[in-house]
């Protein structure tokens, strides 16, 4: 008897593990697919859509099969075994996908329909089999689990599974990926799935068949099952759309490091799970699940309106919580503050979202078996979620903005509540509330919440422009002090361009340094347009073509409008061709060769950008270079721990042995330019081109007015780089070390000093050039004097900050 009781309890526990492994798989596979499909909003949406289509199909198939199956737990175990087997095969599957990915279209903007279709097809090959098996599991276990009420069975299983999913998100972000890497995380998930399979086989023999449920709840006699499931789909659409809109708003406060996204998703799932478990606890008191479901929708609408009033002040809430709980400014302290803030904002709404699912299963009016009820509701809910996942970013946000999208979701929840509980009194109340919401939405400025978000982050910045696009919120701000003001261009809260003196100089150097090392450069690839200063510098050379790969069309339009004083409207140059894609995906798919490839991407610490700083990415660059070609990358020295900095440099050096690190000595600069080529030999510069009048203005902006100036910007030559990284592992795709380790770094100035001091300590003292017109010793003396002054300024700044 004791063994039987333990076996009964183990099934919910196994379903908790299933939820954890499902989210480990989802997080890792989305990262892996990003390498193949690209990191555009179109590619990411294709992958997410296929994931949910598989879940919906699995639930639908499960609903049809459960009455015909006798050993439900055994089939559940087989499904988990299939998922685990697929996880174990992930590295091999990824290899096949990378081969197929070379046939993807290189420009999403040129043929959007074809590009989406290709990515959807590849995502289907990978994701449909395991997600279909995942979708099967809930109907199987609801059919078999003991319990005399549907809400009780479903609330327990769905709640624990979703809590397991939340645990999987946190576990993957804070331990598995940074320690085990992608293949290691998938191997661990595979082992857990196979363990669940074995335990399920044992449990099948020990647990008797569930007793039939005698339904005593008051069921809906007004609505057909089809109409009811349509309402469930609306609830699913609204819940998923709300999550996506919340993320769009909150990254402006929390930033876009991987840990911020983990907290946002983890807390969302935590709320769903706890809400479902609350229904399990209250199941015996719920005699009318239809009215209970209607009530959750009405209260969810009220909670959304309340949340909307405070979303714009998230940063202030964060600061207040830090003070109240006396949290220190460390990674752990800041993560705790983020967690508390997001929980305060999310849980009141997501608890109601989570309660809605088991209530909907219990309220389904059509006579069915328990597993069929769960499968039908899960199918409708997931299909609705697909609509929300596509409709929110691609239709609603670009048309009416995040704020009004949330208000529309309020309306949807109220309409669902009214449809479920139709009386004269509820109709009157709902009509008044709906009218108030619509009036509120019309009177409130469209970007009120987002503007408050920007102003809440800093009171020294002035918002100049704000646009909500399909893939991003684009913001142009003015910042600085009364004596000097500069512009900043942000994409989803991440700075991608600016007009500060240090940035202006580096932009020019990024354009000139690689091209001056190439004999007669003609074809140039520039990854990441930013403010366009680098592209303009390249255009001063007599090149024939400049291909600019940019992930966001809004960056191009914003830069053209606000930063024309930097880029001189270079996009109008008929030699410039813009390609809407992410740089890595373009390099994988194209067969075009270039004389120089300039990687001018965002800081690697931000989510998704680390893959533009890995060994595999640099290998792609090498394979797309003509003989004698040069690759370059923008590499910051701030907000990177020293090991992360060296891993990136090691990866670049392993591909390009002739690596040179350049540093603008004329300003206290947080950035380096790294150039490299495959061919051995000293640095060759076309010194005569420095006298070209077409280059004079741009070179002057980069701090170069003579050959001695250019020589003085060399910090490390190939020999010094080789010695510096000789014992450092390269940064690779499989172990996203930089995003997760440097993502814990909060000390901007301290890391700036540490990394710059390291580079200065091993700086080159011997001539790395072929036939320099000025003795290198003279240029090095100028450089060293400037570096000494810069280091002292940064040291004092770091000491005061620490």
- CATH of residue 787's domain is 3.40.50.150
Residues 321 and 326: their CA atoms lie apart, in Å, by 8
Question: pLDDT tens across 611-668, in order?
Answer: 999 999 999 999 999 999 999 999 999 999 999 999 999 999 999 999 999 999 988 8
Question: CB of 540 within 8 A of CB of 519?
Answer: no
The structure tokens 């759309």 sit at 241
**In-domain check, residue 479:** no
User: Residue 421: phi, psi to the nearest 5?
Assistant: -130, 80
User: So what's the pLDDT on residue 148?
Assistant: 63
At 711, which helix (H) or strand (E)? helix 707-712
* Residue 42 is assigned to a structural domain of this protein: yes
* Residue length of the chain: 802
- In angstroms, the Cα distances linking 318 to 325, 403, 451, 456, 635 are 11, 21, 17, 11, 31
Among 239-253, 442-456, 743-757, whose mean pLDDT is lowest? Answer: 442-456
Residue 547 φ/ψ, nearest 5 degrees: -90, 120
Q: For residue 711, what pLDDT band results from cuts at 50, 70 and 90?
A: very high
pLDDT category at 432 given cuts 50, 70, 90 is: confident
Residue 423 has pLDDT above 80, yes or no: no
Answer yes or no: do 653 and 676 share one domain: yes
CB-CB contact of 610 with 538 (8 Å)? no
At residue 471, the 3 state secondary structure works out as: coil
Residue 678: Cβ within 10 Å count: 15
User: Could you tell me the CA-to-CA distances from 120 to 109, 242, 588, 789 in Å, in that order?
Assistant: 16, 24, 17, 54
Confidence of residue 511 (pLDDT cuts 50, 70, 90): very high
Asked whether residue 715 carries a pLDDT value surpassing 80, the answer given is: yes
Q: Answer yes or no: is pLDDT of 109 > 60.
A: no
Say if CB 140 and CB 69 are below 8 A apart.
Answer: yes
Question: Residue 147 in contact with residue 71, Cβ under 8 Å?
Answer: no
Q: Is 496 helix (H, G, I), strand (E, B) or coil?
A: strand
Taking the C-alpha atoms of residue 396 and residue 642, their distance in angstroms, rounded to an integer, is: 43
Question: How remote is the C-alpha of 346 from its chain's centroid?
Answer: 19
Three-state DSSP state, 581: coil
User: Do residues 194 and 265 make contact, with C-beta atoms less than 8 angstroms apart?
Assistant: no
The verdict on 202 and 245 lying in the same domain is no
Give the end of a domain, one of 208, 234, 259: 208
Q: How many CA atoms lie within 13 A of 217 on its CB side?
A: 29
| Arithmetic mean of pLDDT over the chain | 89
Least confident of 93-102, 154-163, 548-557, 571-580: 93-102
Do 330 and 365 share a structural domain? yes
Separation of alpha carbons 222 and 289, rounded Å:
14
Binned at pLDDT 50, 70 and 90, residue 235 comes out as: very high
Question: Where in the sequence is the domain holding 51, given as residue range(s)?
Answer: 1-208
Residues 549 and 578 in one domain: yes
> Can you say whether the dihedral through the CA atoms of 91, 92, 96, 102 is positive or negative?
positive
| Euclidean distance between CA atoms 701 and 381, whole angstroms | 57
Alpha helices in 207-313 (DSSP H): 225-254, 258-282, 289-311
Judge if 94 and 113 occupy the same domain.
yes
Q: Is 695 left (phi over 0), alpha (psi -120 to 50) or beta?
A: alpha
Alpha-carbon distances, residue 709 vs 377, 499, 551 (angstroms):
69, 22, 34
Mark whether 442 and 499 lie in a shared domain.
no
Question: What residues form DSSP beta bridges with 476?
Answer: 465, 489
The full DSSP string for 141-169 is HHHHS--S-HHHHHHHHHHHHHHHHHHHH
The CA distance from 225 to 169, in Å, is: 35
Distance from C-alpha of 274 to C-alpha of 801, rounded to nearest angstrom: 41
* Per-residue model confidence (pLDDT) at position 528: 93
Give, in order, the Cα–Cα distances in Å from 465 to each of 85, 488, 491, 532, 622: 50, 11, 12, 18, 38
**The two structure tokens encoding residue 188:** 């661990």
**pLDDT tops 80 at residue 394:** yes
Mean pLDDT along residues 525-536: 95
The pLDDT value given to residue 451: 85
Instruction: Answer yes or no: is 171 within a domain.
Output: yes
Which residue, 451, 499, 445, is CA-closest to 473? Answer: 451
pLDDT at 122: 77
Look at residues 160, 176, 208 and tell me which one is the last residue of a structural domain.
Answer: 208
Query: Over pLDDT 70: what percentage of the chain?
Result: 93
Residues 222 and 204 in one domain: no
Q: Which long-range contacts does 184-189 make (Cβ < 8 Å, 24+ apart)?
A: 185/24, 185/28, 186/24, 186/25, 186/28, 186/87, 186/88, 186/90, 186/91, 187/87, 187/88, 188/24, 189/21, 189/24, 189/25, 189/28, 189/84, 189/87
- Tokens 């289509």 belong to which residue? 53
**753, part of any domain:** yes
Q: Is 271 inside a domain boundary? A: yes
Q: Residue written as tokens 């001539």?
A: 767
Residues 730, 792 within the same domain: yes
Q: Is the dihedral of CA 247, 253, 259, 263 positive or negative?
A: negative
Q: 674-678: which pairs have CB atoms within 8 A and are 24 or more residues apart?
A: 674/632, 674/633, 674/635, 674/649, 675/513, 675/514, 675/517, 675/630, 675/631, 675/632, 676/630, 676/631, 676/632, 676/652, 677/517, 677/625, 677/628, 677/629, 677/630, 677/631, 678/622, 678/625
Looking at the structure, tell me whether residues 415 and 266 fall in a common domain: yes
pLDDT digits (tens, 9 = 90+) for 581-594: 889 888 988 889 99
Residue 169: how many other CB atoms lie within 10 Å: 25
Find tokens 């987002």 and name the residue. Answer: 450
Inform me whether the pLDDT recorded for 61 exceeds 80: yes
Check whether residue 152 and residue 286 sit in a common domain: no
Q: Is residue 392 part of a domain?
A: yes
Residues 679 and 780 in one domain: yes
Same domain, 695 and 581: yes
More confident residue, 120 or 659: 659
The tokens describing 528, both together, are 């990441």
d(CA 667, CA 705): 15
pLDDT tens track for 148-203: 678 888 999 999 999 999 999 999 999 999 999 999 999 999 999 999 999 999 99
Q: Three-class SS string for 746-799?
A: CCHHHHHHHHHHHHHHCCCCCCCECCCCCCHHHHHHHHHHHHHHHHHHHHHHHH
Confidence of residue 736 (pLDDT cuts 50, 70, 90): very high
Q: Number of folded domains in the chain?
A: 3
Residues 721, 400: Cα–Cα separation, whole Å: 51
pTM here is 0.93
Q: Evaluate whether residue 174 is within a structural domain.
A: yes
The radius of gyration computed from the CA coordinates of the chain, to the nearest angstrom, equals 29
Residue-wise pLDDT for 266-318, tens only, equals: 999 999 999 999 999 998 898 899 999 999 999 999 999 889 889 888 888 99
Determine the pLDDT at residue 1: 43
CA distance 23 to 193: 12
Between strands 473-481 and 484-491, the pairing is: antiparallel
Boundary-marking domain end, from 457, 485, 505:
457
β-partners of residue 467 are 474
Beta-bridge mates of residue 599? 527, 633
The domain spanning residue 378 has which CATH number? 1.20.1250
How far apart, in whole angstroms, are the C-alpha atoms of residue 408 and residue 392?
A: 11
- Minimum mean pLDDT range among 32-41, 373-382, 533-542: 32-41
pLDDT at 190: 97
Of 434 and 794, the structure prediction assigns the larger pLDDT to: 794
Note whether 609 and 644 are within 8 A (CB).
Answer: no
544: in domain: yes
DSSP for 55-77, please give it.
Answer: HHHHHHHHHHHGGG-S-HHHHHH
């Amino acid at each position: 008897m004791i063994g039987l009781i333990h076996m009964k309890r183990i099934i919910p526990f196994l379903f908790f593990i299933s939820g954890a492994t499902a989210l480990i798989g989802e997080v890792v596979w989305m990262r892996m697919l990003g390498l193949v499909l690209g990191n555009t909003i179109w590619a990411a949406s294709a992958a997410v859509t296929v994931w949910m289509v598989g879940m919906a199909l699995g639930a639908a198939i499960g609903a049809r099969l459960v009455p015909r199956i006798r050993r439900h737990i055994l089939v559940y175990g087989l499904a988990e075994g299939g998922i685990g087997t697929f996880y174990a095969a992930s590295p091999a599957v990824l290899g096949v996908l990378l081969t197929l990915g070379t046939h993807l279209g290189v420009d999403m903007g040129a043929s959007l329909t074809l590009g989406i279709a290709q990515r959807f097809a590849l995502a289907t090959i990978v994701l449909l089999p395991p997600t279909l098996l995942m979708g099967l599991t809930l109907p199987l276990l609801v059919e078999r689990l003991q319990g005399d009420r549907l809400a009780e069975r479903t609330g327990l299983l769905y709640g624990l599974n979703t809590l397991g999913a939340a645990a999987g998100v946190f576990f993957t972000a804070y331990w598995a990926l940074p320690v085990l890497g992608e293949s290691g995380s998938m191997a661990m998930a595979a082992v857990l799935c196979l363990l669940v399979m074995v335990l399920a086989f044992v449990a099948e023999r020990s647990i008797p068949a569930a007793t039939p449920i005698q339904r005593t709840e008051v069921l809906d006699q007004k609505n057909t099952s089809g109409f009811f499931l349509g309402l469930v789909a609306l609830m699913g659409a609204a819940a998923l759309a709300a999550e996506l809109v919340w993320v769009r708003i909150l990254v402006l406060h929390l930033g876009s490091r991987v840990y911020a996204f983990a907290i946002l998703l983890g807390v969302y799932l935590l709320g769903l799970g706890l809400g479902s478990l609350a229904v399990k606890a209250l199941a015996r008191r719920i005699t009318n699940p239809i009215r209970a479901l209607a009530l959750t929708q009405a209260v969810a609408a009220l909670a959304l309106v309340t949340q909307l009033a405070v979303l714009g002040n998230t940063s202030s809430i964060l600061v207040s919580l830090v003070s109240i709980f006396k949290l220190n400014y460390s990674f752990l302290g800041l993560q705790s503050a983020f967690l508390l803030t997001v929980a305060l904002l999310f849980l009141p709404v997501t608890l109601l979202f989570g309660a809605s699912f088991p209530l909907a299963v219990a309220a389904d009016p059509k006579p069915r078996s328990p597993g069929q009820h769960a499968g039908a509701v899960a199918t409708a809910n997931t299909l609705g979620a697909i609509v929300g996942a596509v409709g929110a970013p691609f239709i609603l946000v670009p048309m009416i903005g995040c704020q009004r999208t949330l208000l529309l979701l309020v309306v949807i929840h109220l309409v669902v509540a009214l449809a479920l509980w139709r009386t004269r009194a509820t109709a009157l109340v709902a009509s008044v509330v709906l009218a108030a919401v619509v009036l509120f939405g019309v009177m409130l400025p469209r970007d009120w919440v987002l503007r408050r978000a920007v102003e809440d982050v800093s009171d020294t910045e002035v918002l100049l422009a704000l646009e909500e696009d399909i893939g991003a919120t684009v913001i142009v701000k003015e910042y600085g002090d009364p004596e000097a003001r500069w512009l900043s261009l942000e994409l989803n809260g991440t700075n991608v361009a600016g007009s500060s003196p240090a940035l202006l100089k580096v932009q020019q150097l990024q354009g000139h340094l690689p091209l001056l090392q190439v004999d007669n450069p003609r074809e140039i690839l520039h990854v990441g347009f930013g403010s366009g200063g680098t592209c303009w510098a390249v255009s001063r050379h007599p090149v024939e073509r400049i291909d600019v790969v940019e992930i966001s069309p809004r960056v191009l339009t914003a830069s053209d409008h606000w930063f024309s004083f930097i880029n001189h409207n270079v996009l109008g140059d008929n030699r410039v061709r813009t390609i809407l894609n992410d740089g890595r995906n373009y390099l994988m798919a194209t067969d075009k060769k270039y004389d120089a490839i300039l990687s001018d991407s965002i800081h690697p610490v931000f989510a998704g950008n680390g893959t533009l700083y890995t060994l595999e990415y640099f290998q792609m660059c090498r394979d797309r270079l003509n003989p004698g070609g040069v690759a370059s990358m923008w590499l910051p020295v701030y907000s990177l721990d020293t090991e992360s900095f060296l891993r990136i440099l090691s990866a670049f050096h392993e591909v390009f042995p002739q690596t040179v690190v350049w540093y603008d000595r004329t300003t206290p600069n947080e950035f380096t330019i790294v150039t490299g080529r495959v061919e051995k030999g000293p640095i060759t510069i076309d010194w005569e081109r420095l006298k070209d009048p077409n280059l004079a203005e741009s070179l002057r902006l980069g701090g170069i007015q003579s050959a001695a100036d250019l020589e003085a910007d060399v910090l490390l030559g190939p020999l010094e780089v080789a010695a510096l990284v000789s014992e450092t592992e390269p940064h690779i795709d499989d172990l996203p070390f930089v995003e997760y380790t440097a993502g814990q770094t909060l000390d901007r100035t301290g890391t700036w000093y540490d990394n710059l001091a390291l580079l200065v300590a091993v700086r080159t003292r011997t001539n790395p050039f072929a036939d320099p017109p000025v003795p290198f010793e003279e240029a090095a003396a100028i450089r060293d004097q400037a570096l000494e002054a810069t280091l002292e300024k940064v040291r004092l700044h770091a000491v005061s900050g620490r």
